Every structure is written in C-alpha cells, then in structure tokens.
C-alpha cells in the first residue's frame, strides 16, 4: 500500500525493544516492513519499576506487549547475536535481511521474558519489602535512591539503609542535587553510608552484611541497585566491533548513523552522544532517525538528513509519590514542584500515549 507516496517494501530491522527501539518501530511501521528483535515479549517503562515494587498493580500499565503497539510490524522474541553486512542473526537460529538497521540495545534488560513473569516478579519484590522490617539497598544511583524513596514514603516504619561506593549519591548529576537528595532521605530516616561497598560474599538474603569499611549492617533483606552494563557485548564479533568505543558505546555521526556504515543507525543509551543517558532523549533520537529513514526510503539525498544535537544535562529523580529533585540547565530544584512533574504518574500515561495507546488501561 502507498502511504505519502511511499511503497512499503524496504526492510528496517530494529534491534532492542526498549524506549528507543519501541518508539522508532512504532513510528516506522506505516513506512517500511519493520522487524523488531527483543528477547522480551514486552516493552518496560524502566523508570516506573521502583513504584511497581511497592505497588505491583502499577506495573499493569508499564509493561506493554510489543504486539499491542506494533500491529503492523513483525516482532521476533529472541536475542540478536550477530550482524553481517546484510543480515541480523538471532539466538533462535534465524537470520533477518535488512535494507536499514537500527541498534537500540541500551542495556541487557530484565531476566523475565514474558510479561506475566515480570508482573509476578513485582509481586515477589512487594512481598519481600512487606515482610522485612529492615532493608539494605546496595547502590545510591537513580535506581537505589528512587527505591529508597518509594519504601520510605509507603512504609515509613521500615528501617532502610543505602550503601553507596561513591562519595555522593546520584553522581550522574550535580553535587547540589546529591546534597538535596541526601537531606531528603535523612529526613525520612533512611541511613546513607557513602564511600563503601558491600562485600558480595555477605550478600545472602537477610542477616548481617559487611561493608568494605568493616561496618556491619543487619537487615532482613536487600536489593542490589547497581547500574546495568551497556547492551553491546553481542556486537564484539560483528561488523560493528570497530565502531564501539572504550565504554562499549556505538560511535555515531550527527545523523545518528553508526560511523562508517551508511545504512546502520544507533539510538538511545547505546550511543556515544555526549549527554546524560535519559529515556526522553532516547525518544528524541528515535524521532530523528525515524525521520531520516523515511527520507532515505523516499530517495532523499543524504545531505538533507535531519541532525541531532546533544542535550544539556536535564534529569528528574523522584523521591516517593509527591516529591523529587530536578537538575535543570539553570539550577537544581527539589520538593513538590519536580514531584508534580514526575512522581505521581512517572510519565507512564505520557509514554503510553507516545506509543499510540491510551494512558489508562481499557
Ligand atoms: C531508576 C531510573 C530512573 C530513570 N528515570 C528517568 C526519567 O525520569 N526520565 C528519563 O527520560 N529517563 C530516565 N531513566 C533513563 C532511561 O530509563 C533510559 O535512558 C532509557 O531506558 C534508555 O532507553 P533505550 O531504549 O536506549 O535502552 P533500554 O531501555 O535499556 O532498552 C534496551 C532494550 O534492548 C534489548 N536488548 C538488549 N540486548 C539485546 C540483544 N542482544 N538483542 C535484542 N535485544 C536486546 C533489551 O531487552 C531492552 O528491551 C531512568 C533510568 C533509571 C534506571
């Protein structure tokens, strides 16, 4: 069928069904034969997962089956394992030819491959939190801080301790945001131990945990909230091996094409774009590349492609259901205003709408 004068028929393979991959697959499905490859049958809104741990029903809107928002694309539920000049190979032994390829494997993702299992995991996390009087959180980045905030607000009677090996919380943003976050957590009686790690050998569930500084922390349970590695190890033996930098990120040009490869693009956290790794930026990458691929499919010359400029550092970290801390280009704010923007719905309705779905479940 011709849409905007374009015959569908060009094959676009998107590898990775997170925010970046899901967004671009959705945008391109009217314009090309789109194949999305992801080991999970669903897209997860990652920044909503800490709320789902204290309120499992919240996950019903944040775990979205790929088939729900991609009725006109082909979804392959497998890991991509290699790329040649013409094909993507998958762990289940299939090969998919492409005219254009988009790499969006920001991070490896969760172990639960079915939506049902992921929902069940949130119920297990909730049961663990509920049955513990004291909880140790290992890691004081955004995941550890947001989890501590959720528990401190929903279960104020529980004793929560964060152990973080850095000298300040939330090192990905500025020191003022770290200080405001620390003050907020302390005001909620969360104990924060900085500059220490937890001895991995003491990490069996419940009991006494030992820190690198020799401190002993007794807790009924723990959650490990250290950052996930970049999802690029599968590219080491591929034609893109030379395009990975020292951090495992794919080097891209101003059109978000992988350097040295005219028909391969990369978007989201896997790219070396010098900016914070944020979902709203991954969505912007997806829009730029969707536009570029639509132009290329129509035969537009490369010099007319859209370009992407790195964004200044903007980030919002929620602190429970009503408050938050925001780093903006003009400064740092904390309290109810950033809370109003993010913390109530965690952008879930907005993200669902961006995928063409209703903000609430039918
Ligand atoms: C606690 C927390 C709070 C955050 N809050 C915000 C926020 O408020 N606002 C914001 O904008 N951002 C936020 N972020 C950042 C945001 O989540 C990421 O920037 C965003 O998820 C990046 O999207 P992505 O699609 O590039 O990668 P990911 O979301 O990591 O998705 C990668 C996908 O690739 C798949 N994959 C991996 N390897 C393979 C393979 N070999 N084959 C096939 N598929 C593969 C995975 O299964 C996954 O589906 C937050 C992050 C955290 C951890």
pLDDT tens across the length of the chain (362 residues): 444 444 568 999 999 999 999 999 999 999 999 999 999 999 999 999 999 999 999 999 999 999 999 999 999 999 999 999 999 999 999 999 999 999 999 999 889 999 999 999 999 999 999 999 999 999 999 999 999 999 999 999 999 999 999 999 999 999 999 999 999 999 999 999 999 999 877 777 778 999 999 999 999 999 999 989 999 999 999 999 999 999 999 999 999 999 999 999 999 999 999 999 999 999 999 999 999 999 999 999 999 999 999 999 999 999 999 999 999 988 999 999 999 999 999 999 999 999 999 998 87
3-state helix, strand, coil in the chain (%, to 5): 35, 25, 40
* Ligand 1 contacts CB of residue 19 (under 6 A): yes
Pocket probe for ligand 1: among 46, 80, 89, the residue whose CB has the most ligand atoms within 8 Å is 46
Reported pTM: 0.96
Q: What is the pLDDT of residue 263?
A: 97
Count Cβ neighbours within 10 Å for each residue of 318-327 and write b for 16 or more, e otherwise. bbbbebbbbb
Residue 282 alpha carbon to ligand 1 centre in Å: 8
Owner of token pair 């820190």:
211
Q: What is the pLDDT of residue 15?
A: 98
Query: Residue 88 has which token pair?
Result: 């993507």
Q: Whose CA is nearest to atom 53 of ligand 1?
A: 143
- CA-wise closest residue to 61 among 118, 129, 14: 118
Burial bucket for residue 314 (CB in 10 Å: 0-12, 13-18, 19+): middle
* Ligand 1 contacts CB of residue 144 (under 6 A): no
- Whole-angstrom distance, CA of residue 283 vs CA of residue 281: 5
- CA-wise closest residue to 68 among 287, 282, 271, 357: 357
- Whole-angstrom distance, CA of residue 145 vs CA of residue 185: 8
What long-range pairs does 282-286 form, CB within 8 A, spacing at least 24? 282/18, 282/19, 282/20, 282/23, 282/104, 282/106, 283/19, 283/20, 283/23, 283/354, 284/308, 284/311, 285/20, 285/256, 286/19, 286/20, 286/21, 286/23, 286/24, 286/27, 286/104
Helix axes 175-187, 142-154, angle to 10 degrees: 20
- Whole-angstrom distance, CA of residue 192 vs CA of residue 159: 11
Q: What is the pLDDT of residue 200?
A: 78
- Whole-angstrom distance, CA of residue 327 vs CA of residue 349: 22
Residue 18 alpha carbon to ligand 1 centre in Å: 5
Pocket probe for ligand 1: among 106, 173, 339, the residue whose CB has the most ligand atoms within 8 Å is 106
* Non-local CB neighbours of 57 within 8 Å, separated by 6+ positions: none
Residue 132 alpha carbon to ligand 1 centre in Å: 29
* Ligand 1 contacts CB of residue 142 (under 6 A): yes
The string of DSSP codes covering 181-213 is HHHHHHHTT-EEEES--B-GGG-SSSEEEEBTT
Q: What is the pLDDT of residue 109?
A: 87
Residue 271 alpha carbon to ligand 1 centre in Å: 12
Q: Could you give the domains of the chain?
A: 2-39+78-109+228-311 (3.50.50.60)
* Ligand 1 contacts CB of residue 18 (under 6 A): yes
* Ligand 1 contacts CB of residue 320 (under 6 A): no
């Amino acid at each position: 069928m011709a849409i905007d004068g374009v015959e569908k028929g060009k094959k676009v393979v998107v590898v990775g069904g997170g925010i970046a991959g899901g967004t671009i697959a959705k945008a391109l499905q009217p314009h090309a034969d789109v194949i999305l490859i992801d080991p999970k049958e669903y897209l997860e809104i990652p920044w909503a997962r800490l709320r789902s741990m204290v309120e499992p029903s919240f996950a019903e809107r944040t775990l979205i089956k790929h088939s729900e928002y991609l009725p006109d694309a082909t979804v392959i539920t497998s890991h991509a394992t290699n790329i040649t000049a013409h094909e993507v190979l998958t762990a289940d032994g299939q090969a998919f030819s492409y005219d254009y390829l988009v790499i969006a494997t920001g991070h490896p993702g969760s172990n639960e491959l079915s939506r049902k299992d992921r929902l069940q995991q949130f119920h297990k996390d909730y049961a663990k939190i509920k049955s513990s009087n004291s909880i140790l959180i290992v890691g004081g980045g955004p995941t550890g801080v947001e989890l501590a905030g959720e528990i401190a607000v929903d279960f104020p009677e529980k004793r929560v301790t964060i152990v973080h090996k850095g000298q300040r919380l939330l090192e990905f943003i500025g020191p003022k945001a770290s200080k405001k976050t620390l003050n907020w957590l302390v005001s909620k009686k969360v104990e924060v131990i900085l500059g220490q790690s937890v001895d991995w050998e003491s990490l069996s569930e419940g009991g006494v945990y030992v820190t690198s500084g020799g401190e002993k922390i007794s807790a009924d349970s723990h959650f490990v909230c250290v950052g996930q590695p970049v999802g690029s190890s599968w590219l080491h033996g591929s034609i893109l091996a030379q395009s990975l930098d020292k951090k495992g990120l794919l080097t891209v040009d101003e059109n978000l094409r992988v350097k040295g490869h005219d028909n391969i693009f990369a978007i989201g956290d896997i790219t070396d774009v010098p900016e914070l790794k944020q979902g709203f930026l991954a969505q912007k990458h997806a829009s730029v590349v969707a536009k570029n691929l639509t132009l290329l499919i129509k035969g537009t010359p490369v010099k007319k492609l859209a370009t992407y400029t790195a964004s200044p550092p903007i980030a919002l970290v929620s602190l429970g259901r009503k408050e938050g801390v925001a780093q903006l280009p003009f400064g740092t704010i904390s309290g109810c205003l950033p809370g109003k923007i993010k913390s109530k719905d965690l952008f879930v309705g907005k993200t669902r709408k961006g995928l063409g779905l209703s903000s609430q479940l039918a």
